[in-house]
């Protein structure tokens, strides 16, 4: 049986899934993650039914970085019987101006993608590391890059440009948008879950450690809160979201910070973590009595509501609002507070349904459907990988 490995590599974790190809479609077989890299490494994996297959802790010195995490995961996968990986699909955050769809990877493509590492320093280097390793270990194995930026590449130039010299736009300094694999999955699911709004005016809120929103019209992205990099838009776990560029100039000119120091501050020391002084995890903030935690939550809700209004303006109204990703799927208090801010657009929250985590959390009389739809970026990657290796065959 053909099997596809999907890899989503981050700075402190390695997520992976195995999909068997059944009747021409990917069917999930194993879901796993090795997290706590360098601190408290732990490998966990379950089968499609949720049965635990492995839960193994490692000494910090054994899994010190992403390459060692990849090797440990590979060693465990090799202990499974009957697994022959035919292709590997990778989440790659930034595709730049050149890539508007998934692509088979070769050395030339890998070199092009490496150029975007400075635009996504938390993600791109880690996304590319497993690709390089797989090229060394199994150079004949097909690998497919699936980009978080691709879903947004159909925007008109007036939506994606900045008001800076046009030559910079031509060089690639433009708004790209991210979390595209998540938004693509939600757009595919909407006709099944809420067919009455699937082709209408929909805002999808991908709220997690990384957070953004996307405006969908007829299932296509027309606007997003993220821009040139994954720093823009909503406040996130450790990233500030929308920021006056003058703040960066101030940090450099008045505080004497180097570019590297500013990069670390904006990517690792800001957002909910920096503002609260407590944590970058919304669960910790909701459970905390610290005033800083309350301030961070208030700021997050306020900015999310402002961006929702802007996306509704881009759509010319609103038919549905979808919550997804870790915070969106599990934090009922955050859904409540954002939904209350959407009342002016016609949203009416069903409090009981929201507390229960129901798929539809709006009242029957609500003019705007409020939905909670779990995302599945890995399934989208598996589908794209299968489509691409199938077309090659």
Active-site annotation, residues: 148
Q: Which two tokens stand for residue 55?
A: 């839960």
Q: Give the single-character DSSP code of 227.
A: -
Q: 171: Cβ–Cβ under 8 A, 6 or more apart, which residues?
A: none
Q: Which two tokens stand for residue 92?
A: 């790659």
Q: 359: Cβ–Cβ under 8 A, 6 or more apart, which residues?
A: 193, 371, 372, 373
Q: Dihedral sign for Cα 274, 13, 133, 152, please.
A: negative
Q: How far is CA 290 from the centre of its chain?
A: 29
Q: 188: Cβ–Cβ under 8 A, 6 or more apart, which residues?
A: 380
Q: Give the single-character DSSP code of 362.
A: B
Compute the distance between CA of residue 65 and CA of residue 58 in angstroms, rounded to an integer. 13
Residues in the chain: 393
Q: Give the single-character DSSP code of 8.
A: E
Q: Dihedral sign for Cα 6, 74, 24, 98, please.
A: positive
Beta strand residue intervals within the chain, DSSP E? 3-9, 13-22, 25-35, 42-47, 52-57, 85-92, 103-104, 142-147, 201-207, 211-217, 220-224, 320-324, 369-372
Helical residues (DSSP H) of 244-287, grouped into ranges: 245-253, 259-268, 271-276, 282-287
Q: What is the DSSP string of 62-75?
A: TS-SHHHHHHHHHH
Beta strand pairing status for 142-147 and 103-104?
Answer: antiparallel
Compute the distance between CA of residue 184 and CA of residue 167 in angstroms, rounded to an integer. 31
CB 50 within 8 A of CB 33: no
Compute the distance between CA of residue 43 and CA of residue 45 in angstroms, rounded to an integer. 7
CB 6 within 8 A of CB 385: yes
Q: How far is CA 351 from the centre of its chain?
A: 27
């Amino acid at each position: 049986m053909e099997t596809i490995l999907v890899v989503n590599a981050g700075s402190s974790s390695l997520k992976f899934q195995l999909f068997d190809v059944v009747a021409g479609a990917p069917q999930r077989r194993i879901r796993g993650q090795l997290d706590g890299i360098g601190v408290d490494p732990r490998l966990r994996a379950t089968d499609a039914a949720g049965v635990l297959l492995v839960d193994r802790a490692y000494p910090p010195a054994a899994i010190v970085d992403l390459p060692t995490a990849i090797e440990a995961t590979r060693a465990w996968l090799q202990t499974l019987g009957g697994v022959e990986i035919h292709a590997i699909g990778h989440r790659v955050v930034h595709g730049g101006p050149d890539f508007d769809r998934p692509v088979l990877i070769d050395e030339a493509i890998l070199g092009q993608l490496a150029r975007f590492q400075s635009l996504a320093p938390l993600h791109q280097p880690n996304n590319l590391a497993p690709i390089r390793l797989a090229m060394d270990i199994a150079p004949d194995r097909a690998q497919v890059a699936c980009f978080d930026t691709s879903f947004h590449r159909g925007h008109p130039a007036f939506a994606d440009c900045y008001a800076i010299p046009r030559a910079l736009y031509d060089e690639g300094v433009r708004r790209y948008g991210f979390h595209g694999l998540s938004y693509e999955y939600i757009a595919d699911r909407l006709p099944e879950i809420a067919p009455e709004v699937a082709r209408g005016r929909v805002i999808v809120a991908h709220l997690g450690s990384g957070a953004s929103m996307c405006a969908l019209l007829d299932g296509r992205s027309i606007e997003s809160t993220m821009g040139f990099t994954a720093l823009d838009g909503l406040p996130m776990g450790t990233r500030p979201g929308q920021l006056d560029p003058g703040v960066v100039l101030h940090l450099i000119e008045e505080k004497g910070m180097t570019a590297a120091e500013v990069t670390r501050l904006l990517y690792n020391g800001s957002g909910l973590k920096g503002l609260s002084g407590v944590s970058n995890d919304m669960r910790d903030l909701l459970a905390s009595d610290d005033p800083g935690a309350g301030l961070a939550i208030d700021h997050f809700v306020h900015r999310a509501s402002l961006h929702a209004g802007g996306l509704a303006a881009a759509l010319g109204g609103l038919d549905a609002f979808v919550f997804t990703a870790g915070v969106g799927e599990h934090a009922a208090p955050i859904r409540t507070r954002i939904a209350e801010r959407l009342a002016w657009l016609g949203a009416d929250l069903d409090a009981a349904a929201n507390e229960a985590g129901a798929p539809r959390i709006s009242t029957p009389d609500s003019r705007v459907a409020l939905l909670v739809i779990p995302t599945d970026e890995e399934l989208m990657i598996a589908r794209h990988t299968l489509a691409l290796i199938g077309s090659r065959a």
